Amino acid sequence: MKTSELAKRAGVTADTVRYYTRLDLISASRDPVNNYKDYDSQALQRLRFIHQAREIGFSLKEVQSILALANDGDTPCPTVRQLLQEKIQQTEQRLLKTQQQLAMLQDTYKQWQCHPDKLPTEQSICALIESWSAKEEHDE
């Protein structure tokens, strides 16, 4: 398969195929007639695998590690489970932080609804933000 055909069959762009080839995630032989890259069914399988792993949330560096284990004949499954468990924990932490930020934003918005609009002065740019900052300093 040529680059464009492989890309089409895998549902990615030709640039993605070229990039993964440069990273040695997939490999191609050279067509002796025209010197074009020629990919086999293993390249398609690996490209689909990479795409699936990326969809789950694995980085290219992590995918490289997973493929290296497989290339060495080792099972990458324990590593994949560990990486996924770490991703779950990281995502839970980001979600908690995002929920806390949303609650703070909603609370601040409600508080600001009853504050009058004020024009900027030499001492103040936006009284809403400045009063919030001052409030945060007093809370600490």
Q: For residues 82 and 61, what is the distance between their CA atoms, to the nearest angstrom?
A: 15
Q: What is the pLDDT of residue 32?
A: 87
- Supply the Cα-derived Rg of the chain in whole angstroms: 26
Q: Taking the chain (140 residues) in consecutive chunks of 10 residues, what is each chunk's mean pLDDT?
A: 94 95 93 89 95 95 96 96 97 97 93 91 90 58
**Residues facing residue 37 across a β-bridge:** 30
What was the pLDDT predicted at 27? Answer: 92
> Across all residues in the chain, what is the average pLDDT?
91
pTM: 0.73
Whose CA is closest to 62, among 45, 81, 83, 43?
A: 83
* DSSP letter, residue 140: -
What is the spatial distance between Cα 26 and Cα 57, in angstroms, rounded to a whole number?
19
Question: Read out DSSP for 68-116?
Answer: HHHHTT---HHHHHHHHHHHHHHHHHHHHHHHHHHHHHHHHHHHHHTSP
Tens digit of pLDDT for each residue in 124-136?
999 898 888 645 5
- Which two tokens mark 40? 């086999």
pLDDT at 61: 96
pLDDT at residue 36, as a whole number: 87
